[in-house]
Amino acid sequence: MKYYFGPKKKKNYFEGWYFKHNSKDLNIAFIPSISIIHSKEKKSFIQVISNTFTERFEFSYDDFFSESKTLNIRIKNNTFSDQAINLNLKNENYDIKVDLIYLPFQTLNTDIMGPFKRLPKMECKHNVFSMKHLINGTITINGKEYLFNNDLGYIEGDYGVSFPNKYIWIQSNNLNNGAFFLSIATIPYCKISFTGLIASLMIGSKEYRFATYNFSKILKNTNDHIKIKKGNLILDIYIKDSDRLILSAPKNGHMTRKVYESMEATIEVVLSKNNREVYHEFGYNASIELG
């Protein structure tokens, strides 16, 4: 697996990683990213979104470093890896210190993008690095300390030129014995566009994969209910959204698009096989993003 792809010769490019952390008192994600416009205007960022606020910290592109074959990202004195994150972010509004240790990742057996990863002109490609892992340590925000003790984390990444034109993204890793990820997006490709689906439900160590490339079908897609089908499997996701906050997202490399994410949503996941229910659980403090 590659963890950093880089702009190579692309004139417009973005790449970002999403590190999410859940505890009983705090749901928060840190999003390091880079933005390149016409190969000249280059910046790096760390966005923060929690259940109560969002903030964007901007850095020079020269402050950014990442390795390709290991998860190892650095923006100035802020570091992200597969073992820990250590952050010291400060501006006129927030003073945020993070010292967290990660335990081993629960990874997918195959790339979530499947054969679509090899399509050369996809505007955005996606990686899931950890569906679920335990985290320990502390996060301090404006002097208030939050303790993480065997709480839950999730990590993914995106790279390309722009986020999809329209999409819904859902993630929850505190389902009983489970973890869930889904994205449904309107994807432009050359002179056409199509609706793409990628989803993974982990139950213990077993994965149920639903995707456009394995002939899964979207039967319903509304604000409160998504229903998808693959063969004799039916997956229903019922959504109770929470307040959404604004994040910056890429459009032609620029981090100027606004998208909306909630961090305290509830999802109800029901998996049926041959019309018989085989899994039925609730995921709390789920993340839902709309673009």
- For the chain, the structural domain boundaries read 13-290
Write down the pLDDT at residue 193.
Answer: 84
Q: Which helix (H) or strand (E) holds 152?
A: strand 144-160
Calculate mean pLDDT across residues 266-277.
97
Rg of the chain on CA atoms, in Å: 18
Torsion of CA 22, 246, 186, 122, to 10 degrees: -80
Tell me the one-letter amino acid at 50: S
Write down the pLDDT at residue 122.
Answer: 86
Q: 242 in helix, strand or coil?
A: coil
Spatial separation of the C-alpha atoms in residues 99 and 141, rounded to whole Å: 12
Cβ(271)–Cβ(178) under 8 Å?
Answer: no
Spatial separation of the C-alpha atoms in residues 279 and 106, rounded to whole Å: 19
Write down the pLDDT at residue 233.
Answer: 98
Calculate mean pLDDT across residues 265-271.
97
The pair of three-digit structure tokens given for residue 75, joined into one six-digit string: 């923006």
Calculate mean pLDDT across residues 150-154.
97
The number of beta carbons lying within 10 Å of the beta carbon of residue 42 is 17
The number of beta carbons lying within 10 Å of the beta carbon of residue 213 is 14
Cβ(149)–Cβ(130) under 8 Å?
Answer: no
Write down the pLDDT at residue 249.
Answer: 95
Tell me the one-letter amino acid at 106: Q
Q: How far is CA 215 from CA 65, 195, 196, 197, 229, in A?
A: 38, 12, 11, 10, 9
Write down the pLDDT at residue 23.
Answer: 95
pTM for this predicted structure: 0.96
Spatial separation of the C-alpha atoms in residues 201 and 178, rounded to whole Å: 7
Q: Which helix (H) or strand (E) holds 79?
A: strand 78-81
Spatial separation of the C-alpha atoms in residues 258 and 269, rounded to whole Å: 28
